[in-house]
Structure 1
Amino acid sequence: MGEDGAIRTYDRVLLKISGEALMGDQGYGLHPPTVQRIAREVAIVHEMGVEICMVIGGGNIFRGLQGSAQGMERTTADYMGMLATVMNALAMQSALEELKIHTRVISAITMNEVAEPYIRRRAVRHLEKKRVCIFAAGTGNPYFTTDTAATLRASEMNCQAIFKGTKVDGVYDKDPAKHADAKRYDKVSYDEVLQKRLGVMDASAIALARDNDLPIIVFSLDEPGGFRGILEGRGTCTWVGGA
Structure 2
Amino acid sequence: MFKRVLLKLSGEFLAGASGFGISPEEGSALARRIVTALEGTDVELAVVIGGGNLWRGARNGQGMDPATADYIGMLGTVMNAMALQDAMESAGRPTRVMTAIQMHAVAEPYVRRRAMRHLEKGRVVILGGGNGAPFFTTDTTSTLRALELGADVVLMAKNKVDGVYDSDPRKNPDAVLLRDLTHLEVVERRLEVMDATALTLCMDRGLPIVVFDLFQEGNLERLFRGERVGTLIQS
TM-score range, shorter chain: over 0.9
- Asked if the contact 1:21/1:166 (under 8 Å) is kept, the reply is no
Equivalence for 1:215: 208
Q: Give how far 1:195 is off.
A: 2.2
- Superposed, 1:151-162 pairs within 5 Å as 151-162=143-154
**Match of 2:154, SS?**
strand
- Asked if the contact 1:104/1:132 (under 8 Å) is kept, the reply is yes
Q: Give how far 1:118 is off.
A: 0.7
2:225 & 2:101 partners in 1: Cα distance?
35
1:134 & 1:64 partners in 2: Cα distance?
22
**Match of 1:214, SS?**
coil
- Asked if the contact 2:12/2:52 (under 8 Å) is kept, the reply is yes
Which blocks of at least 5 consecutive residues in structure 1 are unaligned? 1-8
- Superposed, 1:1-243 pairs within 5 Å as 9-47=1-39, 48-68=41-61, 70-167=62-159, 168-234=161-227, 236-242=229-235
**Match of 2:104, SS?**
coil
Q: Which residue type is aligned with residue 105 of structure 1? A: V
- Asked if the contact 1:11/1:50 (under 8 Å) is kept, the reply is yes
Q: Which residue type is aligned with residue 85 of structure 1? A: T
**Match of 1:219, SS?**
strand
Q: Residue by residue, what CA displacement relative to the aligned partner does 1:10-33 show, whole Å, maximum 9, x if unpaired? A: 111010011122224223112222
2:33 & 2:157 partners in 1: Cα distance?
11
1:105 & 1:215 partners in 2: Cα distance?
25
2:87 & 2:226 partners in 1: Cα distance?
27
TM-score (norm 2): 0.95
Q: Which residue type is aligned with residue 110 of structure 2? A: Y
Q: Which residue type is aligned with residue 59 of structure 2? A: Q
Q: Residue by residue, what CA displacement relative to the aligned partner does 1:74-99 show, whole Å, maximum 9, x if unpaired? A: 10000010011001100100010001
Q: Residue by residue, what CA displacement relative to the aligned partner does 1:107-133 show, whole Å, maximum 9, x if unpaired? A: 000000011001111110000000000
RMSD: 1.4
**Match of 1:174, SS?**
coil
Q: Residue by residue, what CA displacement relative to the aligned partner does 1:144-182 show, whole Å, maximum 9, x if unpaired? A: 011000000010110000111102110112221222111
Q: Which residue type is aligned with residue 82 of structure 2? A: L
Q: Residue by residue, what CA displacement relative to the aligned partner does 1:171-206 show, whole Å, maximum 9, x if unpaired? A: 112221222111111011111212222111100000
Q: Give how far 1:41 is off.
A: 2.0
- Asked if the contact 1:189/1:241 (under 8 Å) is kept, the reply is yes
**Match of 1:149, SS?**
helix
Aligned positions, number:
233
Which blocks of at least 5 consecutive residues in structure 2 are unaligned? none
